[in-house]
Amino acid sequence: MRVIVADDEFFARRAISKMLKEIMPDVEIVLEAETGREIMEAMEQTAADVIFTDIRMPDGDGLEVAEFIQKHCPDTSVAIISGYADFAYASAAIRYGVEDYLTKPVQKEKLRETLERILQNRKARSQAVEERVESRMELEGIRYMNPEEVFAEEKVSDILTATIPDSGIGQDDCWQMLVIRLREKMTNWSRERMEEQREYFRQHLERMKVWEYYFYPREEFLILAAPGQKGVTEDYLPAAAEKMLEALERDRKLHFTAGISAPHQGLEACVLKEAYRECSIAASHRRLETGKRSFLWEQESSEQEEIVNRILAYVEENYRYDVTLSQIASEKFFMNASYLSRIFKAGTGKTFSRYLIEYRMQKAAELLQKEELRISDVAQYVGYNDTSYFIQTFKKQYHMTPEQYRMKKEK
């Protein structure tokens, strides 16, 4: 946690800093300020999670600081410290969003309580941001488990697969799986629109027996397709899928990608799970072959290529969190991080950290098209707690600020 401590009395601010370090050893005191002006100037260059400020200071008092923070750095929490314990100051502080009001001399336990309360409030706000963003992905209450969870749970899998024979696909048929995903998340489809999209897929694969299902929150369509007419070869499905997705992009401005499995037989959960894995690996090639829309799984030419694809898939699922190659190396592959780094760069032409940054910025750019989301919401959703740092990173990637990017897209 990054903290600013402000008081025009040297020993007072040093005492607060010392107590904060004792309460939370990993706290980072980024500035000990003597005036309110110092805080406001510093906040234009850096970021802080919490500011503890005296209410009476020269050149910008605590209330001016609180008002500035409320307008320009709303993600930063402010606590007022003062020797003037009167209601007027307290009420003014509350008006500017100050989270607590402490009186001098500050007791360590009182400071601990304030810090804990601020942390709880920040956690609650973070959760609210996530819920607000997630709510944009709601499809009128339609919720399904992830396919991997379905295939891993026998009873649930039995319920799901029991509906497949209704499509005409039998236990002895040779079929392929398609996993079709929107490139842009944050859709706002109604149930009717989602059903209409499923019907669209059925019509464009009319020469095949088709069973389709929609999974949320991954926002992906899972399709099983088996030859329904004579003369339908293994080459038909990849070509039909590419043509279908091209038409969707041209006519409806919907950008989908599809991973296509190898041919399979049997409808057991383990077979479906393997086909889904193949689709995911195949679809991961879209990150390296940006010109295509559909990708057919083929037996991997090397172990290293599959490792790279698994890392790319992991980033896609976890980019919002604290992801490091060292963590992936130790927890997913049980191998040396330096070796894994060399494999990744050889396969993608980029370091892992550069790829992660570019992927996060790509997702941020998609989210910025949603006007109701604040810049700080977008930053937090793609894994940046520090909004200022997010803005700097975004500008390096797109040569404009997130706000400028949003305005450009609105024109």
User: Left (φ > 0), alpha (ψ -120 to 50) or beta: where does 261 sit?
Assistant: beta
Domain positions in the chain are 2-135, 147-299, 354-410
**Rounded to an integer, what distance in angstroms lies between the CA atom of residue 77 and that of residue 115?**
10
pLDDT score, position 394: 93
189, 169 contact by CB (below 8 A): no
Element containing residue 356 per DSSP (H, E): helix 352-367
CB 249 within 8 A of CB 258: no
Please list, in sequence order, all residues whose beta carbon lies within 8 angstroms of the beta carbon of residue 1, skipping any fewer than 6 positions away.
24, 26, 27, 28, 49, 50, 119
Q: What is the pLDDT along the chain (411 residues), one digit of tens a residue?
A: 889 999 888 888 899 999 999 999 888 998 998 998 998 888 877 778 899 988 888 888 888 888 888 888 888 889 888 876 555 666 666 777 788 888 888 889 999 998 998 888 888 877 766 665 454 433 333 245 667 766 766 666 776 777 788 788 888 888 999 988 876 654 555 667 777 788 888 888 878 888 888 776 667 888 888 887 766 776 788 888 888 888 888 887 778 888 888 888 888 888 888 888 888 877 776 655 556 788 888 765 456 777 888 888 888 888 888 888 888 887 777 777 887 888 888 888 889 999 999 999 999 998 888 777 889 889 988 988 888 999 999 999 999 999 998 888 765
Q: Which residue has the tokens 């949320």?
A: 216
Please report where in the chains the tokens 């706290």 appear, as a residue: 27
Residue 234 near residue 157, CB atoms below 8 Å: no
Mapped onto helix, strand or coil, the DSSP state of residue 325 is: helix
d(CA 159, CA 315): 31
User: Three-state SS for 175?
Assistant: strand
CATH topology of domain 2-135: Rossmann fold (3.40.50)
In whole angstroms, what is the distance from residue 188 CA to residue 210 CA? 25
CB 297 within 8 A of CB 260: yes
Tokens found for residue 80: 């007022």
What are the start-end ranges of the E strands in 216-363? 220-227, 256-260, 264-265, 294-296
User: pTM of whole model > 0.75?
Assistant: no
Q: What pLDDT score does 206 carry?
A: 79
d(CA 267, CA 279): 16
Going by DSSP bridges, is the β-strand pair 2-6/100-103 parallel, antiparallel, or unpaired? unpaired
Consecutive H or E run containing 182: strand 174-182
**147-299: CATH, from 3.40.50.1370, 3.30.70.270, 3.40.140.10, 3.40.50.2300:** 3.30.70.270
Q: What is the predicted pLDDT for the residue at 355?
A: 93
Distances (CA, A) of 160 to 221, 258, 264: 14, 21, 18
> Domain 354-410 classified CATH 1.10.760?
no
State the DSSP code for 106: P
**What's residue 325's pLDDT?**
87
Q: What confidence score (pLDDT) does residue 146 get? A: 65
Q: In a 10 Å sphere around its CB, with 0-12 CB exposed, 13-18 middle and 19+ buried, how is residue 162 labelled?
A: exposed
